[in-house]
Amino acid sequence: MECNMKETFSVKDISYQIDSVVRDIFMTMLANEITSCQEEFNGSVEVSVFLGIGGKKKYTVVIETDEKFAIKVASAMLMEEINEWSEAVSDAFGELANMIAGNIKSKLPSETELSLSLPTVIKGKSYTYSTPKMKEIAKMCFKSFDNQKMLIKLFEEV
C-alpha cells in the first residue's frame, strides 16, 4: 500500500517515503542494494550534501557519509573504478543527493509548487553546520557497499 504524503504527513510516512526513494534510486542508478539500518550512524562524516526545497513551506535535505561511501557511489554511477576523491566523485555524489531530494520533494505536502536548489557538496573533517529556524523531522541511516553507511536528514521550517 502506497502512502500519500500530500494527504497525511507524519514522521512515519516521510520515513517510509525516504526509504522507498533511496532503495529505488540505488537499484536504478547504481545497480546496488541499500537497506535502512536501525543503529546510529557512527562513521566519520567527511562528506555532506545540502539541498534546499522551497515553496510556501521550506525544507532542507542533508545527506552525510564518509569519503569511501561517496567514492563507491561515484564508481557505481560512472561504472568505473575510482579510488580517490575527485571532482567526478563530488559531482556524482551531488547528483545522487539531487535525485534523492527531488523524489522526497515530490512526496512533501505543499499548497504551492516546490522548487529544489542545486546541491552543495562539502568535503572535510571536523566541521559543523546549523539549520536556523528549522527542525529535524526525519533522520534515517542506510547501509550499502559492504555495510558502509549514509545518513539522510530532513529539516522543516518552523
Distance in angstroms (rounded) separating the CA atoms of residues 43 and 38: 14
Query: Which residue range is the domain that position 148 belongs to?
Result: 11-157
pLDDT tens for 47-58 read 999 999 998 889
User: Residues 16-66: pLDDT tens digits?
Assistant: 999 999 999 999 999 999 999 887 777 688 999 999 999 888 999 999 999
Q: What's the CA gap between 11 and 139, in Å, rounded?
A: 9
Domain count, the chain: 1
Top pLDDT among 88 and 128 is at 88
d(CA 146, CA 134): 33
Query: Is residue 41, in this structure, part of any structural domain at all?
Result: yes
Q: What is the pTM of this model?
A: 0.89
**Cell (9 digits) for 66:** 564518509
Q: What CATH number has the domain bearing residue 116?
A: 3.40.1550.10
Asked if residues 133 and 60 have their Cβ atoms less than 8 Å apart, the reply is no
Whether the per-residue pLDDT at 11 is higher than 90: the answer is no
Q: Is residue 1 part of a domain?
A: no
CB atoms near residue 123 (< 10 Å) = 15
